């Protein structure tokens, strides 16, 4: 270990509430340690345990049985898309209604007091309404389900990477997520509802695919075959894609999002099923929205975001300008992430109690209303109202009759409508000062808002910031050149700026390109958007990681990237594995199994020849059903278990403390032969770390057994063993794990 540059101690934190998601970085008593690894995070098991029960079930199944299973998978994907679309429709209608009532009330109040004075009352009304909406949403998140905070994309990325995040796909999480995002957007925060839609789709998929609700204790006795991590992961991928599709009207983009940002490895059989779920999601949303708006059959809205269609074109000599905008987006995105990173650390240290989190959210809501009002009040950017005026809540304020305040178009509106106006309003709709001031103010508000204890996404705020400075970029080009006709359309620069800013913050490339192309309906801009996103990623990665990766690290999750650290070839499996390994005999004493699972100190057999691998959850099910042999008392007959017994206990296996084993039963024996996986993946102890890493990640393993030359077990490689090593500024760093 002499070549490792430095060692940093990682520690975990106990939890007195059982399966509870820890605070970011394990804030405890206001203290903060930047390098923490929580032992609450376990790996999902994407590798099927091919024990005797599994093989017998597979052999009994006919060809028609496998065809029926495949049909059920398609049915489940259709249900996922349908329910995700319904949830998106509910969110959209609720936000439209609540925001409409709020802006209408504030607008009437402003118009009433503009002429006679007393606009301070309008400001108070706006701030109070914002704070009230946000307070309700923040209370729901902070006190009832903290995992519902934020967009949920980092958590879903971790889940698809193979990390079990407690409570992330619960029904309660979905309910709080939907309710919270409605309150956040209606409360005027600098947030969007698109990120939470991805999380919502994933939760829907996790629930529908299991055919039951463990929260409601309701089992519909369907889809029992899919109650395992392998199948559930595939459906969660479909749910995340359906959420993207519902948000942006981008079915192909949803598939690529699951591939690029989510899945640790990809099954080609998934592609069409995920695309099907995405299409159903978009169709369901558009169908019900068309009925709601009184236009049944007119499926014109592509998704929650209707950017409108871009029919313009660009010239080849503008490509260098687009690349410059991409670099600028990378720098601004990195600045956004750095500030948000330190702000999150501040929250961990000082704002870790639920009541303080609610108060902070209300403060941000009030400040957002105050800043918006001040910007509108002091702005003298008045624009004439056209005959085809499309501004939903246009404010006249101190402008002349027949004019409206242009600053109000950006601030006094939902973020989606503001983005659309920046994209499509004609040249001259905004003056440069308005765009510059708005960009600065909204950038600060968005940085401050992301990370609050509310359900909210960062997609739309990023697009809005980028669209503002992108449109400003286009206006300045037309100002400094002699021929303004060349740069006649500032809307295309707003689109490029939006892509650059969002790419600089989240570092998505291929999927975001397709999402923006599908959302705008313009294939023409696909090439420049891709160039801009690649440039933004390259420039941004030079300074700091993407926002989602930053928050994954702050949550202390053992996330495995695509490749092992490039300087880790000299490390071997023997040096990274956990040892010693507790081994059982094929036929083991019940008392010893209970002691081991209860963490009671007992003799551990070492360096035994490997016969198979059995999971803790499987042992608990065996103890629960008292699968004992050679019993002193024969009051309980030996019962042959089936895979259904294990699936019924999935995923919330009972704790060992809930299993009662009498003193007589402790002396009985348990035969593990038919329940263990006799062919686990193994590696020699001299295998290099990159090779171990590739095998572990590509196969979605939870455990990788390390053996010696005689096939004796010498250690076990887990996710945390691999996550300990990463490339730091001074070379390869080892982050030690503390058993606390």
CATH code assigned at 629: 3.10.580.10
- The per-residue pLDDT for 482 is 63
Q: Is residue 589 part of a domain?
A: yes
Same domain, 499 and 467: yes
Mean pLDDT of 443-456: 94
Report whether pLDDT(560) > 90. no
Report whether pLDDT(29) > 50. no
Q: Is residue 481 part of a domain?
A: yes
Based on the structure, what is the number of domains in the chain?
A: 3
For the chain, the average pLDDT equals 83
pLDDT tens sequence across 568-609: 888 899 988 888 888 888 888 888 888 888 875 554 555 568
- The per-residue pLDDT for 306 is 65
Of 706 and 15, more confident? 706
Contacts of 359-362 with CB under 8 Å at 24 or more apart are: 360/452, 360/453, 361/134, 361/135, 361/137, 361/138, 361/452, 361/453, 361/454, 362/131, 362/134, 362/135, 362/138
- Whether residue 378 is preceded by a cis peptide bond, meaning omega within 30 degrees of 0, is no
How many Cβ atoms sit within 10 Å of the Cβ of residue 182?
25
Give the dihedral sign, CA 36/40/45/49: positive
Same domain, 566 and 495: no
Per-residue confidence band for 262, with pLDDT thresholds at 50, 70 and 90 = low
Q: Is residue 47 part of a domain?
A: no
Mean pLDDT of 41-68: 85
Q: Is residue 641 part of a domain?
A: yes
CA distance 17 to 21: 10
Least confident residue range of 254-258, 330-334, 483-487, 698-702: 483-487
- The per-residue pLDDT for 414 is 80
- The per-residue pLDDT for 41 is 79
Residue where one domain finishes, among candidates 508, 525, 552: 552
- The per-residue pLDDT for 308 is 67
- The per-residue pLDDT for 21 is 36
- The per-residue pLDDT for 15 is 38
445: tokens are 């508000």
Q: Is residue 389 part of a domain?
A: no
- The per-residue pLDDT for 10 is 33
Residue where one domain finishes, among candidates 505, 520, 552: 552
Same domain, 690 and 546: no
Report whether pLDDT(13) > 90. no
CA distance 240 to 277: 10
Q: Do residues 174 and 455 lie in contact, with contact meaning Cβ atoms separated by under 8 Å?
A: no
- The per-residue pLDDT for 6 is 40
Same domain, 666 and 698: yes
- The per-residue pLDDT for 191 is 92
- The per-residue pLDDT for 33 is 43
Q: What are phi and psi of 732, to 5 degrees?
A: -70, 130
Per-residue confidence band for 388, with pLDDT thresholds at 50, 70 and 90 = low
Q: Is residue 51 part of a domain?
A: no
Closest of 396, 495, 387, 565 to residue 3, by C-alpha: 565
Mean pLDDT of 30-39: 51
Locate tokens 């002349």: which residue?
Answer: 400
Least confident residue range of 40-54, 211-225, 620-634: 620-634
- Could you say which DSSP state residue 258 is in? I
Q: Do residues 122 and 113 lie in contact, with contact meaning Cβ atoms separated by under 8 Å?
A: yes
- The per-residue pLDDT for 726 is 76
Residue where one domain finishes, among candidates 491, 524, 552: 552
Report whether pLDDT(68) > 80. yes
pLDDT tens sequence across 180-198: 999 999 999 999 888 899 9
Same domain, 149 and 179: yes
Same domain, 243 and 324: no
588: tokens are 């083991």
Most confident range, picked from 12-21, 108-117, 371-380? 371-380
Least confident residue range of 94-108, 636-650, 697-711: 636-650
Same domain, 539 and 576: no
Same domain, 13 and 101: no
Same domain, 534 and 590: no
Least confident residue range of 26-35, 272-281, 512-521, 675-684: 26-35
pLDDT tens sequence across 228-257: 888 898 899 999 999 999 988 889 999 988
- The per-residue pLDDT for 723 is 84
Q: Do residues 715 and 574 lie in contact, with contact meaning Cβ atoms separated by under 8 Å?
A: yes
Of 638 and 276, more confident? 276
Same domain, 608 and 625: yes
Same domain, 597 and 712: yes
Report whether pLDDT(2) > 60. no
| For the chain, percent of residues with pLDDT exceeding 70 | 85
CATH code assigned at 224: 1.10.3080.10
- The per-residue pLDDT for 538 is 95
Mean pLDDT of 343-347: 93
Mean pLDDT of 416-445: 89
Report whether pLDDT(331) > 90. yes
- Whether residue 651 is preceded by a cis peptide bond, meaning omega within 30 degrees of 0, is yes
Range of the domain at 578: 6-40+561-737
Q: Strands (DSSP E) along 635-709, which ranges?
A: 669-671, 682-684, 704-707
Edge to edge, the sheet with strand 7-10 lists 7-10, 731-737, 725-728
Same domain, 14 and 143: no
Q: Is residue 387 part of a domain?
A: no
Locate tokens 């028609």: which residue?
Answer: 64
9: tokens are 């101690």
- The per-residue pLDDT for 322 is 94
| For the chain, percent of residues with pLDDT exceeding 90 | 37
Q: Is residue 309 part of a domain?
A: no
CA dihedral 281, 285, 286, 288 (to 10 degrees): 130
Locate tokens 């970029």: which residue?
Answer: 473
Per-residue confidence band for 652, with pLDDT thresholds at 50, 70 and 90 = confident
Per-residue confidence band for 303, with pLDDT thresholds at 50, 70 and 90 = low
- Could you say which DSSP state residue 376 is in? H
């Amino acid at each position: 270990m002499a070549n490792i540059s430095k060692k940093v101690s990682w520690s975990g934190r106990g939890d007195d509430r059982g399966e509870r998601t820890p605070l970011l970085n394990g804030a405890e008593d206001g203290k903060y340690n930047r390098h923490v690894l929580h032992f609450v995070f376990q790996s999902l098991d994407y590798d099927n345990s091919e024990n005797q029960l599994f093989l017998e079930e597979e052999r009994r199944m006919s060809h028609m049985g496998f065809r029926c299973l495949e049909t059920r998978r398609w049915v489940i994907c259709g249900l996922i898309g349908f329910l995700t679309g319904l949830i998106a429709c509910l969110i959209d209608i609720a936000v439209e209604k609540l925001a409409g009532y709020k802006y209408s009330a504030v607008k009437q109040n402003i118009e009433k007091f503009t002429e006679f004075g007393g606009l301070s009352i309008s400001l108070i009304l706006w701030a109070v309404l914002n704070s009230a909406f946000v307070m309700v949403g923040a209370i729901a998140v902070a006190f009832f389900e903290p995992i519902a905070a934020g967009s949920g994309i980092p958590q879903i990325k971790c889940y698809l990477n193979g990390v079990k995040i407690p409570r992330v796909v619960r029904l309660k999480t979905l309910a709080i997520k939907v309710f919270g995002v409605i309150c956040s957007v209606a409360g005027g925060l600098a947030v969007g509802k698109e990120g939470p839609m991805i999380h919502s789709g994933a939760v829907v998929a996790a629930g529908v695919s299991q055919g039951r609700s463990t929260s409601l204790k309701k089992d519909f006795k369907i889809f029992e075959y899919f109650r395992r991590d392998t199948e559930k992961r595939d459906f969660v991928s479909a749910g995340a894609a359906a959420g993207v599709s519902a948000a942006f009207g981008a079915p192909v983009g949803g598939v690529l999002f699951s591939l690029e940002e989510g899945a640790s490895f990809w099954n080609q059989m998934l592609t069409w099923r995920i695309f099907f779920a995405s299409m159903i999601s978009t169709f369901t949303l558009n169908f019900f929205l068309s009925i709601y708006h009184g236009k049944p059959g007119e499926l014109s809205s592509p998704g929650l975001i209707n950017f409108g269609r871009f029919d313009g074109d660009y010239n080849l000599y503008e490509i260098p300008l687009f690349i410059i905008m991409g670099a600028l987006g990378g720098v601004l995105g990195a600045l956004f992430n750095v500030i948000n990173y330190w702000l999150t650390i501040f929250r961990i240290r000082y704002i870790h109690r639920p009541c303080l989190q609610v108060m902070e959210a209300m403060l941000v809501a009030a400040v957002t209303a105050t800043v918006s009002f001040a910007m509108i009040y002091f702005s003298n950017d008045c624009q004439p109202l056209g005959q085809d005026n499309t501004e939903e809540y246009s404010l006249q304020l101190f402008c002349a009759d027949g004019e409206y305040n242009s600053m109000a178009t950006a601030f006094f509106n939902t973020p989606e409508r503001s983005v659309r106006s920046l994209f499509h309003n004609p040249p001259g709709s905004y003056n440069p000062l308005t765009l510059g001031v708005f960009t600065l103010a909204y950038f600060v508000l968005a940085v401050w808002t992301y990370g609050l204890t509310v359900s909210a996404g960062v997609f739309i705020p990023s697009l809005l910031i980028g669209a503002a400075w992108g449109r400003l970029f286009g206006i300045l080009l037309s100002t400094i050149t002699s021929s303004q006709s060349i740069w006649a359309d500032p809307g295309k620069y707003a689109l490029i700026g939006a892509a650059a800013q969002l790419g600089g913050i989240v570092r998505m490339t291929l999927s975001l390109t397709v999402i923006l192309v599908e959302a705008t309906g313009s294939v023409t801009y696909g090439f420049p958007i891709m160039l801009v996103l690649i440039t933004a990623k390259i420039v941004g990665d030079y300074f700091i990681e993407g926002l989602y990766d930053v928050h994954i690290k702050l949550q202390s999750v053992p996330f495995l990237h695509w490749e092992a650290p490039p300087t880790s070839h000299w490390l071997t499996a023997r040096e990274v594995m956990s040892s010693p390994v507790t081994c059982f005999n094929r036929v083991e004493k019940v008392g010893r199994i209970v002691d081991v699972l209860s963490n009671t100190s007992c003799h551990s057999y070492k360096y035994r020849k490997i016969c198979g691998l059995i999971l803790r959850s499987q042992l608990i099910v065996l103890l629960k059903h008292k699968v004992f042999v050679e019993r002193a008392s024969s009051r309980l007959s030996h019962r042959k278990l089936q895979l259904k017994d294990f699936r019924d206990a999935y995923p919330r296996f009972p704790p060992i403390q809930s299993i009662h084993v009498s003193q007589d039963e402790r002396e009985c024996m348990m035969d593990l032969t038919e329940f263990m996986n006799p062919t686990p993946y193994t590696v020699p102890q001299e295998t290099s770390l990159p090779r171990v890493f590739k095998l572990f990640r590509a196969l979605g393993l939870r455990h990788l057994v390390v053996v010696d030359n005689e096939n004796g077990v010498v250690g076990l490689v887990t996710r945390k063993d691999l996550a300990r090593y990463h490339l730091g500024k001074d070379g390869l760093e080892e982050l030690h794990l503390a058993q606390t």
